Amino acid sequence: MVKHLILVVGMVAVCPLVAVADSCNSVPEIEVKTNNIFDLTDPDTIWLHRLANSINVVTRQSTIENELAFLNEKCDVSERDLREVERHLRQLKYIKTAEASFNDEGNILVETSDKWTMMPTLDFGRKGGKNKYSIGLKDRNLFGYGIDADIEYFKNDQRTGYTFKSEFPLYLGQNIHGGLILSDTDDGSAQGISIIKPFVSYDTNTAYSFDAYHAKLSQQFYLNGADYYELAYTDTNFSASWGQLLSRQPDSVWRYQVGVDATDRQFTGITSIFDINQPDDRRYLVPFVQIDYIQDAFAELNNIHVINQIEDFNFGWQLSTKLGVNVAARNNDESRFIWNLNASKGTQLSNNTLLFSDFSLESDFGSSSKNRFVVKSDNELFYRLSDRFSLYGGQFLTLSKNQYLDAPVAIGEETGVRGYPLEFQRGDHKISFTGELRYYPNINIYNLFELGAAAFVDTGKAFSTNDFHNDTNQWLTSVGIGARLFSKHSSDAKVIHIDMSFPMLNHQNVNNVEFLITTRTSF
C-alpha cells in the first residue's frame, strides 16, 4: 500500500501548473479598517459592551489583508468581486460584518467589525436521551491573527476526554491554512494535521490540500433507546489533491481536481447482547478525478437559518462528481470503483417562498458481494408570512444498500425526530418530515441575544428493517414548542434551542415529555 501511495502522490505532485496570466491589470490598493465588537456611540451602550471591547484584541489589518490575497488573481476588480470579498470575510468565525467599496481614488476600502471570540466554554444538553457537556477555553481569533484555538474537556454519549483543535492562516499571501487536532479520551486517542489552499474565489486558479489523521477509538451505537453494539477500531486516513481552474464565465466556473484518498479502518472488537458480526476491515487507496461546476448566483438573506444576521445563499447550481479506482490489495473484497455525486440548487418560487435542494450519491462498486450505495435527497422550504412569522418545511430522504455498520441509517433525536432517543429506529432507508411555525419578534437582550420562537411537528420512519431489531416499525412523530436565542456577536454562530417536545409513541424508553437545551447551527 505504501508503494502505491508514494506513486500516486508523486503523480499528483508533478501535475503541470498553469501560470497566472501576467497581462492582467494591477489590483487597486486595498485600505483596511477593522472595528471592535460594539459601537460605543450607540445610545443603548451598557458597561458590558465597554468591557467586551476593552478585553477583545481587534483583528489586525494584516490578518484581513492576508485573507484578501485572492484578489491578486483578478484581472479587474468589479462590484461583483467586492460582494465576493464581503461573503468571504463574513464566513470567517471572527468577523461579524464586512463592507467593501471603491473610494473616490478608485482604491478598495474594506471595513469589518469583530465578533466576540475569546471565552470559557460551557456546552450542555441531551443527545437522544444521553447527557452531554463540555467545558474549556477557546479563541477564534487569537491575538487578532485569525488563529482558531480550542481546548476542552468533554463528556458525551460516546466518550470522555480532552481535545485540542486549531486552525490557522500561514500568512504566505496565498490563502493557505493549516490545521491540527489532538485528542486523549478514555477509549483511545486521535491526531490529525492538514494544509489546505482552497478555491477561495471564482477566479482562483489553483487549489491543493493535504491531510492525515489517525485515531484509536470505540463508538457506541443505539437502538430502541438502549445500547445496541459498541465497535472498537483504529482509523488511519490520508488524502492529497491538486485542483485547477478549467473555465471562468461571468456567472459560472468549471474546475477539476486530481488526488488520492487512502483509508485503513481496522475493527478490533464488537460488544453486543445481539448476534451481530464484527465488520470486515476496510482498506482503500483511491486515485481520483473530480469535476466541479458552480454557478455564481448569490443573494443576501435574513432570518433563514439564524436571526437578524446577513446570510449568504447561492441560488445557482453547484455540481460535483468524483470517480476513483481502488488500487489497494482488496483482501476483504473491497469495492474496485468509487463514484460520488453532489448537486444543490436554490430556487426563489415567489417573493415570499424559497426552496433549497440537496442531492448526494456515494457509490462503491466492483466488489463480488459488497457493492454499496447511499443516496440522500433533502429539500427545505421557507415561506414568509409577515415580517415576524414564517413557515418552514423540511423533507429528508436516505436510501442505502450494504451501508457500513459504523455509519447506520437511523431515525431519532438529531436524525429527524426530536424528543426520541438517539438512533431509536434503524433500516436500510429512512424518510423524515419537519414543519415549523417560526416567530421573529425583533427583540434583543441588551444587544447580546436575538430572540425567536417556534412550534414544530416532526415525523419519520425507517424502512427495510428486517435485518435489525426494532421494537416498532411504525412512524415516529412528535410535536413541540421552543425558544431560540442567537448572538450575532458570538464567533460560533450557534442558535440556542430551548425545546419542549411531546413524542407520540408509547414506549418504555420514550418519555412523554422531553425538555431539551441544545446548540445547533440553524433555527
Alpha-carbon gap, residue 105 to 299, rounded angstroms: 28
Q: Which residues pair with 519 in a beta bridge?
A: 496
For residue 21, pLDDT beyond 50:
no
Distance from the Cα of residue 439 to its chain's centroid: 25
The per-residue pLDDT for 125 is 56
Give the mean pLDDT of the chain. Answer: 90
At which residue does the C-alpha cell 501560470 appear? 19
β pairing state of 160-169 and 147-155: antiparallel
Per DSSP (E only), the strands in 370-448 are 372-384, 389-401, 410-411, 425-426, 429-439, 444-445
Q: Which of 245, 177, 185 is nearest to 211 (CA)?
A: 177
The per-residue pLDDT for 158 is 65
Higher local confidence (pLDDT), 17 or 24? 24
Q: Is 282 helix (H, G, I), strand (E, B) or coil?
A: strand
Pick from 20-24, 414-418, 436-440, 514-518 the range whose average pLDDT is largest. Answer: 436-440
The per-residue pLDDT for 498 is 95
Q: Which of 71, 32, 28, 25 is nearest to 173 (CA)?
A: 71
Count Cβ atoms within 10 A of the Cβ of residue 74 and give its class: 0-12 exposed, 13-18 middle, 19 or more buried: middle
Render pLDDT for 343-365 as a digit per residue (tens, 0 to 9): 999 999 999 999 999 999 999 99
CA distance from start to end of the chain: 45
Which residue spans of the chain are classified as CATH 2.40.160? 2-11+205-520
Q: Which of 488, 510, 496, 491 is nearest to 125 (CA)?
A: 496
Alpha-carbon gap, residue 304 to 378, rounded angstroms: 16
pLDDT band at 1; cut points 50, 70, 90: very low
Instruction: Residue 462: count other Cβ atoms within 10 Å of its Cβ.
Output: 28
Tell me the three cell numbers of residue 145: 491573527
Alpha-carbon gap, residue 478 to 505, rounded angstroms: 8
Alpha-carbon gap, residue 33 to 462, rounded angstroms: 53
The per-residue pLDDT for 186 is 80
* Residues 235 and 188: beta-carbon distance below 8 Å: no
Kindly report the CATH class assigned to 2-11+205-520: mainly beta
* Residues 155 and 130: beta-carbon distance below 8 Å: no
- 144-178 burial, b for 16+ CB within 10 Å, e for fewer? bbbbbbbebebbebbbebebebbbebeeeeebbbb
- 368-379 burial, b for 16+ CB within 10 Å, e for fewer? eebebebbbbbe
Count Cβ atoms within 10 A of the Cβ of residue 17 and give its class: 0-12 exposed, 13-18 middle, 19 or more buried: exposed
pLDDT band at 7; cut points 50, 70, 90: very low
Q: Is 222 helix (H, G, I), strand (E, B) or coil?
A: strand
pLDDT band at 76; cut points 50, 70, 90: confident
Least confident among 32-41, 111-120, 240-249: 111-120
* Residues 412 and 430: beta-carbon distance below 8 Å: no
Per DSSP (E only), the strands in 87-159 are 95-102, 108-114, 118-127, 130-142, 147-155
Residues 6+ apart with CB under 8 A from 265: 233, 234, 235, 236, 281, 282, 283, 406
Q: Which of 179, 176, 290, 284 is nearest to 242 (CA)?
A: 290
The per-residue pLDDT for 24 is 58
At which residue does the C-alpha cell 469589518 appear? 112
What is the average pLDDT across 337-348? 97
Higher local confidence (pLDDT), 289 or 335? 289
Render pLDDT for 93-145 as a digit per residue (tens, 0 to 9): 999 999 999 998 889 999 999 999 987 776 665 554 556 667 888 899 999 99
Amino acid present at 208: Y
Render pLDDT for 136-190 as a digit per residue (tens, 0 to 9): 888 999 999 999 999 988 777 667 889 999 999 999 999 999 999 999 988 789 9
pLDDT band at 8; cut points 50, 70, 90: very low
The per-residue pLDDT for 490 is 86
Q: Which of 65, 102, 103, 71 is nearest to 84 (CA)?
A: 71
Alpha-carbon gap, residue 415 to 426, rounded angstroms: 11
For residue 17, pLDDT beyond 90:
no
For residue 19, pLDDT beyond 80:
no
The per-residue pLDDT for 155 is 78
Alpha-carbon gap, residue 111 to 94, rounded angstroms: 14
Give ∠ CA 237-241-245 in degrees, rounded to 5. Answer: 155
Alpha-carbon gap, residue 258 to 271, rounded angstroms: 40
pLDDT band at 13; cut points 50, 70, 90: very low
